[in-house]
């Protein structure tokens, strides 16, 4: 009634009131509440004095009506109310007159009767006729108020239409009905004091197309409707046929009849259930109540929770458990359709109890009722008339017929209570009544009366309902409320593993589903089902694979219907406030909400309290500012989606202004929200500005993927705007930060790094900006170096030197040296590398230069120069100094607490111990490197750490595991695009394969390493690669002695040219062993003695000790 009145249908509101008065009097013998009577009188007065043709003015219906500025706008003398997005079903029905009908009056009478039958069927199942044509009607289900079962209602209405029209005109072949479900925009349009609703979009168009495409007598339903109504309908067959002319393609099916199922839970159970998880405490509580009831202390348990948390699943598991065996179990439940029928849930309970089937005749049903009552207690015969009336059976009792409505109501309460209590004397009884939030007042009255008798019975009454439902049972000592919440994260993961499978490629999807659904079991199951139905997942339950990338799983239509119907049942002002809050975000403050909602503070807080009591919102903070959050992310999304785009846009624009004004002194805390609202409000300049700031903030927090998201989104906006110098400058800033961020997020050798700096270089040239050109060249140089393109990197470094020649910018000077100390090292020019890294140490000042991290390479140059100094001096014959400098780098990195920089320090420590030949220590630092890279998703150093750990494991005993880890590490390094230092890793893998008895495979790895060196030119550890090749050749008949000696001589010569004393010593040691084995002691001594003398420290290293012992042995001989 209130809805009719608000939308201008005042006469319809009055008729609705009169119908309710009649029904209440007949069925319950009661009158409407005084407040309802007063409201009806006000509506009647408004209807009486409203002049014909006047504009519709909707106000003062109750204190919850929104202000006129929010109710709509006028066009001429018509009022158009605010439109909303709805998930609904549209029914389009047409009737065709037989050619034989020539009497126009008869034809008109038939058409009128058919149209009335159509309208009656729509109204019976909660629909709304929006269009009446000469040959049929169009109707909406799920609007203006959302309905959970809109598709089911539409299908049932279609079946009822066909059946009734067949009775009227004798031929069901005269009617064709199409039904389609989906999202549409719904609005109310009023003119001259009357209004009607209309749905705009593809859904009504498709319903009309289906109707037109059908043969006479057919009911066609789309695949979307079938999906929403699954379990409640039966099709003529499972074969779909394409809808002619539909783009994109749409499948339709022919509807045959209803199924026997009534409750949504039953339909889900038919599809198969997963194992119950995360409900041990609840099951234990239910078992305790069952025990007390079994001992004669009856119990009432209300299982309370939001939609989808698993209330019905818990009941199902319990009543089918071992503990419930031997109890009589009778179940019923209400649906959204049952609010329009008196006693229907109880009638269904009795039908189940007495096993009355739908096909039973009246006499058969009456006989089953009578025999069932007498079987419990013959003295209960007096209850039969009331129970018969409840079942729509003839009471066959004059006294019942003569009773007044209040007397019938009393007799009904007593009859049900007497029957149930007596039944429990024979067998202990579990009564289940699901979804009390849908029951009618008559059913509620019976339950209230029944509960009063439970204290000394053997009955356990289990009811389920949502938080908004209210009852009066809390004062009963035998009443327990069992609150069921969402699953915890671990239980949700277990459920998803059962639904999806445990494939590693599904890990991201599992995480997103948990985030999106808030661990609500039904929403998890329906989301997986929807992904499978749409082909995003292929396979079977528990063993799915992804067929395509799934970025943001959509809300399944079944879930959307549940949530939308809850929202639509809110009072208008609360619903409007929730939609406004949803535009602000999942979390919001009262300070931001108030100016957008345009409500005074006291009224706003009252409404928020109501929404909190209904468990739509939680208050997360009271002081210093009141903060709220939506309880469920999906509720937020549904509320947000219901607001039309243009209204949302205007609210987002207003929010940017509000936030900027409220937080002007600390705007940095809110840049992400400002960026979001600026994008949604299409304020492109502000969006670009705030996205850039958000990216910088994310970088400072080491949230690299988040920074990338902001940058890519900002660049996408820039790409849609008309070019200008200012816009090019903004893009340049974006590209520079993008390059640095890509280095951390995807590795320094990722192609995206090159793309960013190439574009930055192009922009610098277009702007004529030589200063920023340095950044672009420096970034590309880093990329080329990591890719193993050392000569190109050197050329880019020389261009950087030219740009810094006349500059006093310490940062540019440090970063030029930075490029050279890394590139020179991997070129095998260790002295040059040490020169530049020493310059870096001298120039670097922590407070001033740590900021270079975020401008150039994504890691701190002060730590990096120490890392490469350590590695260079180690190879140059100072292995102890190398550890000392490594520890300096580590200390600085830990002080800076920058993840990528810390990972680099761990990498250097592990690498230094590899160069020193110390696997246990290398393993220690590799494990720490892997740990931090895992935490912050740093792919290149993670892959390096995997290899370093594999080498350590292979050296300390478990060759097979070590080799496997080394292979995985090399594969992961290659996947990032990096090749710097990779030949040395291939050679170390080759050496491990040789020791594992696979010399051929080992030699193949070393040849691969030498091929890369020859192709790329980087000569890092080339002498060691050659030495390992010689050692492997010496293990079998792979080469002549002369060839082995020649390789070792070449290795020594290369190491000496590089100034690499430690590799030179190792090559000399290998050569000396070969010579000594042939008896050539003089040449063995001549080779080994100068190599030992060149090492001034590191006497505790195994190779140095071995070399000196061999030298002593040769000398003695």
Per-residue model confidence as pLDDT tens digits over 607-653: 999 999 888 998 988 878 899 999 888 889 999 988 989 999 999 99
Q: What pLDDT is stored for residue 253 in this prediction? A: 94
Confidence band, pLDDT 50/70/90 cuts, at residue 472: confident
CA distance 813 to 788: 23
Q: What is residue 486's DSSP assignment?
A: P
Low-confidence winner among 63-72, 174-183, 419-428, 693-702 (lowest mean pLDDT): 63-72
Q: Which of 44-58, 422-436, 922-936 has the least mean pLDDT?
A: 44-58
Q: How confident is the model at residue 52 (pLDDT cuts 50, 70, 90)?
A: very low
* Rounded Cα gap, residues 123 and 131, in angstroms: 14
Domain 917-1020, what fold?
1.25.40
Domain ranges of the chain: 1-82, 279-466, 489-554, 563-643, 738-807, 810-916, 917-1020, 1030-1117
b (16+ CB within 10 A) / e for 592-611: bbbebbebeeeebeebbebb
Point out the least confidently predicted range of 8-17, 494-503, 670-679, 977-986. 8-17
Token readout for 521 is 């079991």
Q: Which residue has the tokens 């051929």?
A: 1000
Residue 90, helix vs strand vs coil:
strand
Class of domain 810-916: mainly alpha
CA-CA-CA-CA torsion for 181, 187, 191, 193, nearest 10 degrees?
A: 100
On whether the pTM is more than 0.85, the answer is: no
From 37-41, 378-382, 500-504, 805-809, the region with the lowest mean pLDDT: 37-41
Q: List, for residues 860-895, the tens digit of each pLDDT value.
A: 999 999 999 999 999 999 999 999 999 999 999 999
CA distance 436 to 713: 47
Q: How far apart are CA 460 and CA 462, in angstroms?
A: 6
Q: What percent of the chain has pLDDT over 90?
A: 55
Dig out the tokens for 633 from the structure: 């992310």
- Among 140-144, 353-357, 507-511, 971-975, the range scoring the smallest mean pLDDT is 507-511
**pLDDT recorded at residue 531:** 84
Of the candidates 827, 774, 756, the one whose C-alpha atom is nearest the C-alpha of residue 979 is 827
Q: Are 1091 and 1064 in contact (CB under 8 A)?
A: yes
* Fold equal for 810-916 and 917-1020: yes
Q: What is the mean pLDDT of residues 347-368?
A: 89
Q: What is the mean pLDDT of the chain?
A: 87
Lowest-confidence pick of 530-534, 687-691, 900-904: 530-534
- Euclidean distance between CA atoms 183 and 442, whole angstroms: 35
Across 176-185, 251-260, 520-529, 710-719, least confident range: 520-529
Q: In the 3-class helix/strand/coil scheme, how is 953-999 assigned residue by residue? A: HHHCCCHHHHHHHHHHHHHHHHHCCCCCCHHHHHHHHHHHHHHCCCH
pLDDT band at residue 27 using 50, 70 and 90 as cut-offs: very low
Q: Could you tell me the fold of the domain covering 563-643?
A: Arc Repressor Mutant, subunit A (1.10.10)
Distance CA 677, CA 451 (A): 52
Q: Which residues contact 410 (CB under 8 A, 6 or more apart)?
A: none
How far apart (Å, rounded) are the C-alpha atoms in residues 546 and 494? 19
Residue 599 has pLDDT above 70, yes or no: yes
Give the pLDDT confidence score for residue 968 in this predicted structure: 96
- Which residues lie across from 219 on neighbouring strands? 177
User: Are 304 and 563 spatial neighbours (Cβ–Cβ below 8 Å)?
Assistant: no
Written as six digits, the tokens of 906 are 């761990």
Confidence of residue 65 (pLDDT cuts 50, 70, 90): very low
Give residue 59's pLDDT: 28
d(CA 489, CA 514): 8
Q: Write out the two tokens for 955.
A: 């050296």
Question: Of residues 568 and 663, which shows the higher confidence score?
Answer: 663
pLDDT tier at 187, thresholds 50, 70, 90: confident
Report how far apart, in Å, the C-alpha atoms of 974 and of each of 71, 471, 931, 940 are.
Answer: 61, 66, 20, 9
How would residue 12 be classed by pLDDT, with cut points 50, 70 and 90? low
Tokens in use for 727? 């816009």
Token pair 């958000």: residue: 694
Q: How many CB atoms lie within 10 A of CB 141?
A: 26
DSSP 437: G
Please say whether the beta carbons of 1064 and 1107 come within 8 A.
no
Q: How confident is the model at residue 68 (pLDDT cuts 50, 70, 90)?
A: very low
279-466: what CATH class? alpha beta
User: How high is the pLDDT of residue 50?
Assistant: 43
């Amino acid at each position: 009634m209130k809805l009719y009145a608000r939308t201008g249908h005042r006469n319809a509101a009055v008729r609705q009131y009169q119908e309710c008065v009649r029904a209440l009097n007949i069925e319950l013998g009661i009158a409407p509440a005084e407040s309802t009577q007063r409201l009806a009188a006000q509506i009647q007065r408004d209807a009486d004095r409203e002049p014909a043709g006047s504009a519709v003015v909707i106000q003062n219906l109750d204190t919850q009506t929104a202000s006129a500025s929010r109710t709509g706008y006028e066009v001429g003398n018509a009022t158009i109310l605010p439109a909303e997005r709805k998930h609904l079903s549209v029914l389009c029905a047409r009737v065709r007159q037989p050619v034989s009908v020539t009497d126009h009056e008869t034809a008109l009478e038939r058409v009128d009767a058919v149209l009335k039958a159509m309208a009656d069927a729509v109204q019976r199942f909660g629909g709304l006729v929006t269009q009446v044509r000469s040959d049929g009607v169009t109707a909406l289900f799920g609007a203006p108020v959302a309905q959970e079962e809109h598709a089911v209602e539409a299908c049932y209405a279609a079946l009822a239409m066909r059946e009734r029209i067949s009775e009227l005109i004798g031929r069901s072949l005269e009617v064709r009905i199409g039904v389609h479900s989906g999202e549409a925009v719904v609005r109310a349009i009023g003119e001259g004091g009357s209004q009607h609703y209309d749905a705009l979009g593809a859904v009504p168009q498709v319903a009309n197309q289906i109707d037109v495409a059908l043969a006479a007598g057919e009911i066609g339903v789309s695949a979307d409707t079938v999906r929403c109504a699954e379990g409640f309908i039966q099709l003529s067959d499972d074969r779909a046929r394409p809808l002619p002319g539909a783009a994109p393609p749409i499948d339709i099916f022919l509807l045959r009849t209803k199924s026997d199922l009534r409750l949504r839970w039953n339909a889900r159970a038919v599809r198969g259930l997963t194992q119950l998880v995360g409900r041990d405490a609840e099951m234990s509580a239910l078992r305790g109540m069952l025990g007390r009831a079994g001992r004669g202390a009856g119990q009432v348990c209300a299982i309370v929770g939001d939609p989808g948390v698993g209330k019905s699943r818990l009941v199902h598991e319990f009543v089918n458990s071992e503990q419930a065996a031997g109890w009589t179990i009778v179940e019923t439940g209400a649906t959204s359709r049952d609010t329009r029928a008196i006693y229907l849930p109880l009638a269904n309970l009795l039908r189940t109890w007495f096993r009355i089937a739908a096909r039973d005749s009246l006499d058969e049903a009456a006989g089953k009722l009578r025999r069932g009552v007498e079987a419990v207690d013959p003295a209960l015969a007096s209850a039969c008339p009331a129970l018969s009336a409840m079942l729509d059976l003839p009471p066959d009792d004059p006294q019942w017929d003569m009773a007044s409505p209040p007397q019938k109501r009393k007799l009904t309460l007593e009859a049900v209570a007497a029957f149930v209590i007596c039944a429990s004397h024979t067998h202990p009884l579990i009564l289940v009544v699901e979804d009390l939030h849908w029951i009618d007042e008559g059913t509620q009255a019976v339950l209230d009366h029944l509960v009063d008798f439970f204290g000394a019975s053997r009955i356990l009454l289990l009811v389920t309902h949502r938080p908004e439902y209210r009852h009066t049972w809390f004062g009963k000592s035998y009443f327990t409320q069992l609150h069921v919440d969402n699953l915890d994260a671990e239980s949700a993961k277990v459920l998803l593993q059962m639904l999806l499978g445990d494939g590693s490629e599904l890990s991201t999807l599992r995480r997103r589903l948990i985030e999106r659904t808030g661990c609500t079991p039904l929403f998890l199951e329906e989301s997986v089902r929807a992904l499978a139905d749409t082909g995003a997942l292929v396979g079977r339950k528990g063993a799915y694979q992804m067929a395509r990338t799934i970025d943001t799983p959509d809300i399944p239509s079944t879930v959307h219907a549940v949530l939308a119907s809850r929202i639509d049942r809110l009072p208008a002002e609360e619903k409007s406030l929730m939609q406004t809050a949803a535009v602000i975000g999942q979390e919001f403050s009262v300070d931001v909400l108030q100016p957008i909602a345009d409500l005074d503070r006291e009224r706003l807080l009252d409404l928020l309290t109501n929404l909190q009591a209904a468990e739509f919102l939680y208050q997360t903070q009271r002081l210093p500012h009141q903060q709220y959050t939506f309880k469920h992310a999906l509720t937020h999304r549904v509320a947000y989606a219901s607001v039309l785009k243009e209204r949302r846009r205007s609210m987002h624009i207003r929010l940017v202004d509000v936030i900027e004004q409220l937080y002007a002194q600390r705007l940095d805390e809110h840049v992400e929200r400002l960026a979001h609202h600026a994008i949604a409000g299409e304020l492109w300049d502000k969006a670009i500005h705030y996205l850039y700031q958000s990216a910088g903030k994310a970088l400072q927090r080491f949230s690299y993927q988040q920074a990338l998201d902001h940058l890519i989104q900002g660049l996408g906006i820039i790409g849609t705007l008309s070019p200008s110098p200012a816009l090019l400058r903004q893009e340049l800033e974006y590209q520079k930060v993008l390059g640095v961020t890509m280095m951390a997020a995807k590795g320094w050798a990722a192609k995206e790094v090159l793309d960013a700096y190439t574009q930055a270089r192009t922009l610098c040239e277009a702007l004529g900006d030589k200063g920023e050109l340095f950044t672009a060249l420096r970034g590309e140089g880093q990329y080329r170096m990591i890719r193993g393109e050392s000569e190109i990197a050197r050329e880019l470094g020389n261009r950087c030197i030219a740009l810094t020649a006349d500059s006093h910018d310490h940062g540019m000077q440090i970063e030029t040296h930075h490029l050279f100390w890394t590139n020179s090292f991997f070129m095998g020019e260790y002295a040059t590398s040490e020169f530049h890294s020493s310059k870096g140490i001298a120039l670097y000042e922590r407070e001033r230069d740590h900021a270079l991290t975020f401008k150039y390479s994504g890691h701190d140059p002060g730590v990096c120069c120490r890392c490469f100094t350590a590695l260079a001096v180690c190879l140059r014959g100072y292995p102890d100094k190398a550890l000392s400098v490594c520890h300096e780098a580590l200390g600085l990195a830990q002080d800076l607490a920058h993840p990528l920089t810390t990972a680099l320090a761990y990498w250097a420590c592990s690498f230094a111990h590899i160069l020193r030949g110390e696997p246990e220590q290398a393993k220690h630092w590799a494990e720490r490197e892997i740990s931090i890279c895992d935490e912050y998703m740093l792919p290149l150093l993670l892959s390096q750490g995997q290899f370093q750990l594999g080498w350590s494991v292979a050296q300390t005993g478990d060759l097979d595991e070590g080799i496997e880890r080394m292979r995985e590490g090399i594969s992961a390094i290659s996947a990032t695009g990096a090749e710097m230092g990779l030949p040395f890793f291939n050679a170390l893998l080759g050496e491990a394969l040789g020791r594992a008895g696979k010399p051929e495979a080992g030699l193949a790895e070393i040849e691969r390493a030498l091929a890369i060196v020859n192709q790329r030119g980087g000569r890092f550890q080339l002498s060691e690669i050659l030495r390992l090749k010689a050692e492997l050749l010496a293990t079998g008949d792979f080469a002549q002695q002369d060839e082995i000696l020649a390789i070792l001589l070449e290795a020594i010569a290369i190491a000496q040219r590089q100034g690499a004393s430690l590799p030179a010593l190792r090559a000399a040691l290998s050569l000396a062993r070969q010579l000594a084995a042939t008896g050539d002691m003089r040449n063995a001594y001549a080779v080994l003695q100068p190599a030992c003398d060149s090492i001034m420290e590191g006497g505790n290293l195994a190779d140095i000790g071995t070399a000196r012992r061999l030298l002593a042995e040769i000398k003695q001989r």
